[in-house]
Amino acid sequence: MSVVALASAFALAVVLAAIVGPLLLRRSAPLLVRLPRLAIAVLAGTILLWPAALLSIGPLAAWLLSGPTILPEGAAEVCQRCISAANPFGAEIGSGPVPSILLLALPAAAAVVLGAAVAVRLRSNVGELVKAAESVSGQSRVIAGHRVTVVADDRLLAYSLPGARGGIVLSTGALAALERAELAAVLAHERAHVRQRHHWVMALTDSISTVLTAVPLIREARRMLPAYLEIAADRAAQKAAGTTAVVSALLTLGERSAVREGALHMAGPERVRQLVAPARGRAGALPTAVMISLVVVLAAVTALVFAPYSAALAVGCAL
């Protein structure tokens, strides 16, 4: 297969992934639910890499297709010199209807607009985390070896914020209601959120997915991600305190309630089944393999495209 055919196949795969990807993610659930940290990597990787892969199609095409010249002669020569310096495939392979400068300029402009929008959203998300941490008024205590902020509240509250912004938070109502083993499970669950930096994963992926919510693949990945973050923390708590303690704690704390923006909560009996009767067998293996392969391909091609351009610019290809 020629290089042009491979590049065309990649472009088609990026577009098809946006449409078919949600189905693959849902079909992968029976396996991913048993491997939640892998699920987080796949979902977060999808959200991070799909936009980069889409933006790489133009620069990739600029290597393979020589379009009409619309720049002044000197500028066109400089542009072509940069493209040639970055091109790992050697000489131009064919001709196309789109000027090479547009194949570079349009993705670059889109990247600037997307980056600015994501930066604004990320700043807002981080601001919400900071605001949530500052709004917590309680006493810092060491409970079972964990630094915990205890707030005076009769409600059953157990959640976490980033370590530098508050860490584990429990209410006096939760402390009174939880048995010793349940409390150990809750602390292990929330510690996992903090140590695995789940809050920052959510802040970053939400910043991208909010801007690209029209893309079905990214929208579905963002919808599924919070559940896998909770399941990953459940698994950590299960190892530390045992299945019975985790299940009992989930039932005691009851349904999830949005107490703080950006907080991750130890609540929700809907996760009990995943702890006591996880799926078995090979269900979900094939779509999971496809999704992992997709993430790897997106990462590889994106690096293949942008690294040579960056290197060419760094050494002054236009000089």
User: Residue by residue, what is the 3-state secondary structure of 96-131?
Assistant: CCCCHHHHHHHHHHHHHHHHHHHHHHHHHHHHHHHH
Whether the pLDDT of residue 257 is over 50: the answer is: no
Domain assignment present for residue 126? The answer is yes
More confident residue, 82 or 206: 206
The whole domain housing 283 covers 3-314
pLDDT in tens, 113-167: 999 999 999 999 888 888 888 788 888 888 888 889 999 988 888 888 886 666 8
- Give the pLDDT confidence score for residue 274 in this predicted structure: 79
Higher pLDDT, 318 or 184: 184
Banded pLDDT at 296 (limits 50, 70, 90): very high
**pLDDT by residue (tens digit) across 4-62?**
777 788 888 899 999 999 999 999 988 998 899 999 999 999 999 999 999 999 888 87
Q: Whole-model pTM? A: 0.85
- Does residue 189 belong to any structural domain of this protein? yes
- Is residue 261 scored above 60 in pLDDT? no
- With 70 as the cut, is the pLDDT of residue 94 above it? no
How far is 71 from 80, CA to CA, in rounded Å?
Answer: 11
- Tell me the pLDDT tens digit for each residue of 190-236: 999 999 999 999 999 999 999 999 999 999 999 999 999 999 999 99
In a domain, 165, yes or no: yes
Among 88, 86, 24, CA closest to 50: 24
Residue 319 lies in a domain: no
Strand residues in 114-203 grouped as ranges (E): 139-143, 146-151, 158-160, 168-171
Q: How many domains are there within the chain?
A: 1
Residue 318 has pLDDT above 60, yes or no: no
Predicted local confidence at residue 26, as pLDDT: 93
Residues belonging to the chain: 319
The verdict on residue 203 lying in a domain is yes
Backbone angles phi, psi at 168, to 5 degrees: -80, 135
How far is CA 215 from each of CA 47, 51, 73, 115, rounded to the nearest angstrom?
A: 10, 10, 39, 16
- Cα-based distances in Å from 280 to 24, 57, 290: 18, 39, 19
Q: Answer yes or no: is pLDDT of 300 > 60.
A: yes
Whether 79 is in a domain gets the answer yes
Q: Please state, in angstroms and rounded to a whole number, the distance separating the CA atoms of residues 280 and 282.
A: 7
